[in-house]
Amino acid sequence: MIALCILAAIAGFAGLSLGMTRHQRDVLGRTLAPSSSLRWRIVGWTGLALSLLLAVVRDGAAMGTVYWLGELTVAALTVALSTTGLGSRA
């Protein structure tokens, strides 16, 4: 369940990243239309909300939220390092 929560958070941060023009240029080599950027941001926030829901279901509201914040850190670091690597490669 922890892995699923982290994967949902990674998908969320990746979606939020692709909703930003700077990261679109780094990852895709071009910018997307504003409607596509909005869709990626919606996907991103949905992924983060899903990961919070999974953490709360797994460990309850108090401890689930604490664990979720730690899992968000891991997910954000993963996406940031991936985006940085893709940006320097392009």
pLDDT 10s digits, 24-78: 888 888 999 999 999 999 999 999 999 999 999 999 999 999 999 999 999 999 9
pLDDT at 90 over 60: no
In angstroms, the CA 24 to CA 70 distance is 27
The more confident residue out of 1 and 45 is 45
Length of the chain: 90
Band (pLDDT 50/70/90 cuts) for residue 23 is confident
C-alpha angle 78/59/13, rounded to 5°? 25
Contacts for 66 with CB less than 8 Å, ≥ 6 apart: none
Q: Residue 71, exposed/middle/buried by CB under 10 A (0-12, 13-18, 19+)?
A: buried
